[in-house]
């Protein structure tokens, strides 16, 4: 017979420790990376993973229906909103001209130029159709 209480606590403390470790890596990345976008990368990924793991650990620790339902709501909300907000900040930083000092492949710039060319071509096509 497996001691369920002990197993629940072992899983909960393991998940919470793993989440705290991910938060630690996020802080190290935010402090130590040389560039704006690499700092975004470290911050958002490790913070999302740490939040999800730690809240799952809390949900396993107190395994009752209202608490677990609320924690599942919080986990889903953080999974949705954290990448969106960081993507928005990164887009604002790129459009403000805060580019990385060493960029070898800038695909966002290529995409922007491509859409600009397409939007310049579009009225010509309409003129041809009109004339």
Partner 1 sequence: MIGFALLLVVLSAVTFYRVLVGPTVADRIAAADAIGIMVALMMALLAVHYEFYLFLDVVLVYAVLLFADVMVFSKYFERGELHW
- Residue 18 contacts partner 1 per CB under 8 A: no
Which listed residue (1, 6, 84, 118) binds partner 1 by CB under 8 A?
Answer: 84
Distances (CA, A) of 87 to 37, 40, 90, 111: 10, 9, 5, 16
In the bound complex, what is the minimum distance in angstroms from residue 116's beta carbon to partner 1?
18
Provide Rg for the chain, Cα atoms: 23
- Residue 95 contacts partner 1 per CB under 8 A: yes
- Report which of 73, 78, 68, 76 is spatially closest to residue 12, judged by C-alpha positions: 68
Residue pair 89/37 in contact (Cβ under 8 Å)? The answer is no
Q: Which residues bind partner 1 (CB under 8 A)?
A: 16-17, 19-20, 23-24, 26-27, 30-31, 36, 39-40, 43-44, 47, 50-51, 54-55, 58, 61-62, 66-67, 70-71, 73-74, 77-78, 81-82, 84-86, 88-93, 95-96, 98
């Amino acid at each position: 017979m497996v001691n369920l209480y002990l197993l629940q606590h072992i899983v909960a403390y393991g998940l919470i420790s793993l989440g705290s470790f991910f938060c630690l890596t996020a802080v190290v990345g935010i402090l130590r990376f040389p560039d704006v976008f690499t700092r975004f990368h470290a911050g958002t990924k490790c913070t999302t993973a740490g939040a999800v793991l730690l809240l799952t650990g809390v949900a396993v620790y107190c395994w009752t229906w209202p608490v677990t339902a609320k924690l599942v709501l919080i986990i889903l909300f953080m999974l949705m909103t954290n990448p969106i907000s960081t993507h928005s900040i990164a887009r604002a930083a790129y459009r403000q001209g805060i580019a990385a000092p060493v960029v070898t492949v800038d695909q966002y710039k290529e995409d922007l130029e491509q859409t600009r060319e397409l939007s310049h071509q579009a009225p010509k096509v309409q003129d041809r159709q009109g004339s």
